Amino acid sequence: MNRGSDLMLLIGSSLFFFMLASLVMMSQALQNSEFFNSYYSILIILNGLGLISLIILIIFNIKRLIRQFKNKIIGSRMTVRMVMLFSILSVTPVLIVYYFSLDFLHRGIDSWFDLRVEQALDDSLELSRLALDVRMRELLNMTEKVATELNESNESELPFIVDQIRERINAYELTLLTRKGVVIASSSIDTESLIPVTPDKNILLQLSQGNNYIGLDVIKDTNLLIRVVTNLPTKNIDKEARLIQTLFPISERMNQLAESVQSSYIEYKELSYLREQLKISFIIILTLVLLFSMFSAVWAAFYSARKLSEPVMNLAEGTKAIAAGDYSTRLPVPGNDELGFLVSSFNDMTDRISEARDSVKQSQLEAESQRNFLETILSRLSSGVIVLDGNGNLEKYNTSANQILNINFDILEKKNIRILIKELPYLTDFFECISSNIQEQLDEWHEQITLSNKTGNLTLMINGAVLLGSDGETSGYVIVFDEITALIRGQRDAAWSEMAQHLAHEIKNPLTPIQLAAERLRHKYLSTMNAEDVEMLDRMTNTIIQQVDTLKEMVNNFSDYARSPEFNPEDIRIEHLIQEGHDLFSNMEDKSEIKMDVDDELPLIRGDEKKLRQVFNNLLTNAIDANEMGAGHHLTISAKGIDVNNIHMVEIRVRDNGPGIEVGVVNKLFEPYITTKQKGTGLGLAIVKKIIDEHSGTVWLENNNDNNGACAVIRLPAIDQLIQTTKSRII
């Protein structure tokens, strides 16, 4: 833009100075400057071309301005106003000056010419003629006398006589010639001139008609000469008619005066004749000057308006750029004036905004980094974390929160805790706990709750704290909760295991002596007692022995549960174990219908085959026992590969058609000595749970959706997942 502007200035200035010089030269030419006079026409043409160029320049500017105006380019309206204002301000006085100049021009040129001056010049010319006429008449008389004298002269002496006469009458030249103009004799004061001046055809014609000729002639390069031509008197009719021509010089003074009068007369006449042309010429020059001034002013108006509006346009563009987020815009400072100060201030402002933006961006990046850091930590935390804002709306949560509560918080984001209580009835206790603690405005609180659902109980340890904002006011709440179900269960299992070992040890020891003592009593007194007593002793001792056996079995079961046999892992195809269990129980129970639904390609698992076989036996036994009162057993064993949180697992489901499990005990059934059956030790499911835990799997019981029986679900990690887990542990 600057380059274009500079070019425009250069072109405009060049044109301006060129036209100015051209107009000055034209003015000089009109003032009869010899040098410029010869270039007058060229100067007019050049000025015309200059004007046309100026007009083209202005048209170009106008077109550009109109285009900018139509396109609503910023600053175009201001430029239009400024151009119009500048143009009016500059053109108006020029037009006024032009109008009065024209008037003065007409009056001034007309005032050069005065009738009295013209009359005086005519009179002076007439006076000069009269003065010369007197002298010419004298010379005519003298020439006529000379003609008579020559007519009487001897032909042979004519050249000498002519010369003598010329000298006598002080003529410049005296020539005797025929009427056809043939020179007979001549004498001249100019000795260098060999050829005499002869009268032209018109003079000869005039003489042939018998008239004399007298006139002022300019002959050769001399001053004015009086030429007198007269016929010689005819002596002999046969003789060819002759004539004599005399040239008389005029006195130097008279010549000067005559020339002066004549030149003044000519000049005045010429000037008078040229009056109108002179006016036209001056008007042309004046008009050229007017147009030149006007167009120059208009062009200057364009240039100035553009120069003035340019910083404003730049400011507007800069503002737009800043509004669009571009803070790198630097505007050229136009100068040290107020606009320059404004633009400079704008640049400073841009710099500061840019710095502030960079600072904010840096802070954002840091905050983002901090947030990512926190989110990474949160996502890796096994504890569930929920953040609520000051109004109790859900702000943040981590994946563990989703997993522990088995819900998707994504769809609950920004929802108020009150709404969550209503929308999530199975988590009512959880959110009620949080809500009540928030309402109590406690800075920190801890609470343990147990949630129950169809898959069992979920024990959570909830810790809450108030988040304080920069103003010290409550800005939100953070709730951290852990599932401690397994921990409690583990503690309980450990206690049970310890108690089982202790019981086994304490109970098993006296059982054998009791049993031996009973058998001894039986052996010693059975043969010696009467029949009535024998029957009673037999019944009593049998009862003791049977109950001792039962107690032994119970103690052995306790012992088995408490003892941790060696774990011998190997790659197992789980479908083979399922098939074995199916075959075993299908043959044992006639009225059982056991279906198998196993995927063709189940992944391998790593585990102890014996222990897993016991798991299936226990589960199938439980399933059959669950429908003791039913007409028939309809069991289904299914197995399939699944992905749980990107972990490949094998899911085995053992489904019965029994009465189902009460919700209150569904999670307790895996605890030792808890059973809903009439008979049984209550250790079957506890052992299942223990074995599955040893295999890094999960097991739970759930009621079927169709309210027809319950289902035991086992999930065991597939072998590739195990390898990964192992590797990660090694690392």
Stretch that binds other proteins, among 266-274, 590-598, 676-684, 708-716 (CB under 8 A): 266-274
Stretch that binds other proteins, among 245-253, 261-269, 379-387, 460-468 (CB under 8 A): 261-269
Q: Tell me: does residue 272 bind other proteins (CB under 8 A).
A: yes
State the nearest-atom distance from the C-beta of 110 to other proteins, in Å. Answer: 15
Q: Tell me: does residue 41 bind other proteins (CB under 8 A).
A: yes
Which of 40, 102, 415, 488 touches other proteins (CB under 8 A)? Answer: 40
Helices (H) and strands (E) in the chain, counts: 19, 17
Which of 16, 55, 151, 265 touches other proteins (CB under 8 A)? Answer: 265
Measured from the CB atom, is 270 or 366 closer to other proteins?
Answer: 270
Measured from the CB atom, is 221 or 600 closer to other proteins?
Answer: 221
Let me know: does 290 contact 95? Beta carbons within 8 Å: yes
Q: Tell me: does residue 38 bind other proteins (CB under 8 A).
A: yes
What is the distance between the alpha carbons of residues 393 and 16, in angstroms, rounded to a whole number?
A: 76
Starting at the edge strand found earlier in the chain, the sheet holding 213-218 runs 183-188, 173-178, 242-249, 224-231, 213-218
Measured from the CB atom, is 224 or 294 closer to other proteins?
Answer: 224
Residues between 307 and 326 that touch other proteins (CB under 8 A)? none
Q: Which residue has the tokens 């139509």?
A: 70
Q: Tell me: does residue 266 bind other proteins (CB under 8 A).
A: yes
What is the distance between the alpha carbons of residues 684 and 672, in angstroms, rounded to a whole number?
A: 8
Q: Tell me: does residue 141 bind other proteins (CB under 8 A).
A: no
State the nearest-atom distance from the C-beta of 115 to other proteins, in Å. Answer: 16
What is the distance between the alpha carbons of residues 331 and 312, in angstroms, rounded to a whole number?
A: 10
Q: Tell me: does residue 30 bind other proteins (CB under 8 A).
A: yes
Q: Tell me: does residue 37 bind other proteins (CB under 8 A).
A: yes
Which of 261, 467, 511, 713 touches other proteins (CB under 8 A)? Answer: 261
Stretch that binds other proteins, among 10-18, 259-267, 364-372, 492-500 (CB under 8 A): 259-267
At 309, list the tokens. Answer: 């509006």
Let me know: does 681 contact 504? Beta carbons within 8 Å: no
Binding track, positions 60-79, relative to other proteins; x by CB under 8 A:
--------------------
State the nearest-atom distance from the C-beta of 203 to other proteins, in Å. Answer: 8
State the nearest-atom distance from the C-beta of 265 to other proteins, in Å. Answer: 5
How far, rounded to the nearest angstrom, does the alpha carbon of residue 312 sit from its chain's CA centroid? 21
Strand, coil or helix: 564: coil
Q: Tell me: does residue 27 bind other proteins (CB under 8 A).
A: no
The number of residues that bind other proteins (CB under 8 A) is: 39
Residues between 199 and 228 that touch other proteins (CB under 8 A)? 200-202, 215-221, 224
State the nearest-atom distance from the C-beta of 218 to other proteins, in Å. Answer: 5
- Paired strand residues for 479: 386, 464
State the nearest-atom distance from the C-beta of 55 to other proteins, in Å. Answer: 20
What is the distance between the alpha carbons of residues 330 and 308, in angstroms, rounded to a whole number?
A: 18
Stretch that binds other proteins, among 263-271, 415-423, 556-564, 708-716 (CB under 8 A): 263-271
DSSP string, 635-701: EEEEEEEEEETTEEEEEEEEE--S----TTTTTGGGSTT---SSSS-S-HHHHHHHHHHHTT-EEEE
- Provide CB contacts within 8 A for 376, sequence distance 6+: none
Which of 55, 74, 284, 419 touches other proteins (CB under 8 A)? Answer: 284
Strand, coil or helix: 460: strand
What is the distance between the alpha carbons of residues 541 and 523, in angstroms, rounded to a whole number?
A: 10
> Which of 683, 667, 619 shows the shortest CA–CA distance to 486?
667
Measured from the CB atom, is 226 or 578 closer to other proteins?
Answer: 226
Q: Tell me: does residue 88 bind other proteins (CB under 8 A).
A: no
State the nearest-atom distance from the C-beta of 258 to other proteins, in Å. Answer: 6
Q: Tell me: does residue 254 bind other proteins (CB under 8 A).
A: no
- Is 278 exposed, middle or buried, given 0-12, 13-18 or 19+ CB atoms closer than 10 A? middle
Amino acid (1-letter code) at residue 692 = I
Starting at the edge strand found earlier in the chain, the sheet holding 647-655 runs 592-598, 633-644, 647-655, 710-717, 698-703
Q: Tell me: does residue 258 bind other proteins (CB under 8 A).
A: yes
Which of 99, 100, 273, 373 touches other proteins (CB under 8 A)? Answer: 273
Q: Tell me: does residue 183 bind other proteins (CB under 8 A).
A: no
CA distances to 21, 117, 185 from 149, in Å: 70, 48, 14
Measured from the CB atom, is 266 or 494 closer to other proteins?
Answer: 266
> Rounded to 5, what percent of the chain is helix, strand, coil?
60, 20, 20
Let me know: does 629 contact 695? Beta carbons within 8 Å: no
Measured from the CB atom, is 267 or 583 closer to other proteins?
Answer: 267
Measured from the CB atom, is 257 or 315 closer to other proteins?
Answer: 257
Measured from the CB atom, is 136 or 577 closer to other proteins?
Answer: 136
State the nearest-atom distance from the C-beta of 129 to other proteins, in Å. Answer: 7
User: DSSP state, 38?
Assistant: T
DSSP string, 295-307: HHHHHHHHHHHHH
> Which of 35, 15, 13 shows the shortest CA–CA distance to 25?
35
Q: Tell me: does residue 683 bind other proteins (CB under 8 A).
A: no
Stretch that binds other proteins, among 86-94, 274-282, 574-582, 663-671 (CB under 8 A): 274-282
Stretch that binds other proteins, among 149-157, 257-265, 454-462, 716-724 (CB under 8 A): 257-265
Stretch that binds other proteins, among 36-44, 88-96, 517-525, 629-637 (CB under 8 A): 36-44
Give me the residues that bind other proteins (CB under 8 A), please: 29-30, 32, 37-38, 40-41, 44, 125, 128-129, 132, 200-202, 215-221, 224, 258, 261-262, 265-267, 269-270, 272-274, 277-278, 280-281, 284
